[in-house]
């Protein structure tokens, strides 16, 4: 059934990567469309956005997301647009369309709290906190992460693990390493994506704490893992992290890592904004 394919694609995204998940999403979407189940078509489209983001197919992502927001709301749907908006916000941020990203993020919090579902809450809070970091609002970013951390009515674990690296980087950029370490210590990865997100989170935490030797090793492992998985941005961020740490260690390999990262972000049309705990950005 289409519903079974929807669940399967979600699990595949976390375990097998975006390419496999996208194949299942498209098969399920075709089935739902043939049966005339329009609401389910929107859900499949929404589920495709994470995979499209990972793969760097951002122009397609923005088109699909726009279709979701317009089409779903025409038939009274709010859930699928709430799933789409965080991915739109992320792409706009990476492409330095900051005013537009701020606009899309503005409605995220209210919608997410109303829907009260982990699949909506976590991406919405992460995107909103990232906007705050880009705008230099560290206190607001931490307040958002703390609110997420206090959430007790909804089980967030699966989805929080998907975004653990973002959550920890936001904490590190906001000079709250205690909260970052708390998030890492409480992590219980159950899928490949979770494990890789924890690896990147640990690398960011060690770098922020000043242990660049340990961080360099973790970043190198993250590069390999994310590259195999198929996540362009996380691969690029791990390469940048490795480059920063290797340069501090006097290791000439840092130039190669930096060049590879530049190639990835150039291909995405993205500015590799990397907020660090001392306020620098690359």
Indicate whether 280 pLDDT > 80.
no
Per-residue model confidence (pLDDT) at position 281: 38
CA distance 159 to 155: 9
Mean pLDDT within 14-41:
92
Q: Is residue 32 classed exposed, middle or buried when 0-12, 13-18 and 19+ CB atoms within 10 A define those classes?
A: buried
Mean pLDDT within 7-12:
94
Predicted TM-score (pTM) above 0.85: yes
Q: Distances in Å between the alpha carbon of 279 and those of 3, 10, 146?
A: 45, 36, 21
**What stretches of 35-75 show up as alpha helix (H) in DSSP?**
38-55, 58-74
């Amino acid at each position: 059934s289409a519903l079974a394919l929807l669940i399967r694609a979600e699990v595949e995204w976390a375990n097998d990567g975006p390419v496999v998940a996208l194949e299942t999403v498209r098969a399920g979407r075709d089935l739902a469309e043939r049966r005339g189940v329009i609401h389910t078509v929107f859900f499949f489209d929404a589920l495709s956005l994470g995979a499209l983001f990972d793969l760097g197919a951002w122009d397609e992502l923005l088109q699909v997301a726009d279709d979701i927001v317009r089409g779903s709301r025409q038939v009274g749907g709010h859930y699928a647009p709430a799933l789409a908006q965080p991915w739109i916000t992320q792409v706009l941020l990476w492409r330095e369309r900051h005013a537009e990203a701020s606009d899309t993020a503005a409605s995220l919090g209210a919608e997410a709290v109303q829907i009260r579902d982990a699949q909506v809450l976590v991406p919405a809070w992460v995107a909103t906190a990232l906007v705050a970091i880009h705008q230099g609002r560290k206190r607001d970013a931490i307040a958002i992460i703390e609110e997420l951390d206090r959430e007790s009515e909804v089980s967030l674990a699966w989805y929080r693990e998907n975004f653990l690296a973002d959550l920890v980087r936001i904490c590190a950029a906001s000079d709250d390493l205690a909260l970052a370490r708390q998030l890492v210590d409480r992590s219980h990865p159950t899928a490949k994506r979770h494990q890789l997100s924890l690896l990147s989170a640990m690398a960011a935490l060690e770098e922020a704490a000043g242990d660049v030797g340990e961080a360099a090793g973790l970043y190198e492992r993250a590069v390999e893992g994310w590259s195999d998985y198929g996540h362009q941005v996380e691969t690029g961020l791990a390469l940048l992290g490795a480059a920063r740490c290797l340069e501090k260690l006097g290791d000439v390999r840092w130039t190669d890592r930096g060049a590879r990262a530049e190639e990835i972000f150039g291909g995405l049309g993205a500015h590799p904004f990397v907020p660090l705990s001392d306020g620098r950005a690359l």
